[in-house]
Amino acid sequence: MSEQTVNDLNATETVVEDQALPSEGQKTYTEDEVQRLLSAVKKTRDEVKTYQKENKELLSQMEKFKEINPDEYRKLQEDAALAEKERRAVEERSSLLEEKYGAQTAEAVKAMEAKEAELTEFRKRYVLEKVFFAAGGRTDADGGASFFDLIADRVGHRFKLDGSGQVIVVDEQGDPMIDKETGKRLDPETFMASFKTHRIYGTFFKSQKGAGAALPLGSDPSAIPGEDLDNMSGDEMFMRGWA
């Protein structure tokens, strides 16, 4: 390997380290910056492997020329020594590079995973809200709190998004629930509607008028006689349910 080739490689590595990596003062990293950093480390590793391969080829040539051409043999020895020296230098720089930016890379990846989890949760609540309203959930809110928020905080863990972005019902272990009658996955709207019979959650759904019914499903007429739950605020409804 020529000295010029080694110098070109050093120059390339310097550009990668100076331009491809985020500065030490940065606290957050974009996905693009993380990928550039990982690419820089991979490129340096590949260069070390190339050095090792070329050095092995030089050693093989040295053995052939050792007896045939002593002068050429000495030149190959010098080239091999130079290649080994530069290989160690690049390997050392690679180790320093990984040590220096390894923690920052891990931190950036962790932050990206947290944002992805947050986005997934937002998407789930968006779809789940539609399910709640389709099941007859109350749409009113008070003081920044809605009936959907209250029930989602309590039973939201029983729903999750599948690979297609559809919400599915899961059990306490996170496994999809199956409808015993159909043998298919339990319908999210049907499962949500089942909370209408709950003493507290039932008040989060709209009243079903008719046949003298004046209270929402799930309310206990003997426990709260004469109260108009439809006109109560969200906070009042929630607190009254626990009374």
pLDDT at 196: 93
User: Of 59, 90, 86, 93, nearest to 4 (Cα)?
Assistant: 86
Last residue of a domain, one of 84, 116, 148: 116
Residues 6+ apart with CB under 8 A from 241: 199, 200, 203
Which CA distances in Å does 233 have to 118, 209, 213?
A: 29, 19, 20
Last residue of a domain, one of 69, 88, 116: 116
Distance between CA atoms of 17 and 36, rounded to whole angstroms? 10
Residue 124 lies in a domain: no
Distance between CA atoms of 182 and 166, rounded to whole angstroms? 19
Domain match, 86 and 168 both: no
Residue 129 lies in a domain: no
Total structural domains in the chain?
2
In the block, tokens 């950093």 appear at: 37
- Whole-prediction pTM: 0.46
pLDDT at 222: 41
Domain match, 26 and 111 both: yes
Domain match, 193 and 143 both: yes
Residue 128 lies in a domain: no
Domain match, 112 and 157 both: no
Which CA distances in Å does 147 have to 144, 170, 230?
A: 10, 21, 12
Task: List average pLDDT for each run of 10 residues in the chain, which is 243 residues long.
Answer: 49 48 56 79 82 77 68 74 85 78 79 89 91 93 88 91 89 90 91 93 81 43 46 57 53
Last residue of a domain, one of 116, 148, 167: 116
Residue 67 lies in a domain: yes
Distance between CA atoms of 29 and 20, rounded to whole angstroms? 12
Alpha helices in 69-185 (DSSP H): 70-134, 147-155
Residue 125 lies in a domain: no
**Please, which residues bridge with residue 10 across strands?**
none
Domain match, 69 and 163 both: no
Range of the domain at 48: 3-116
User: What is the token pair recorded at 187?
Assistant: 């319908």
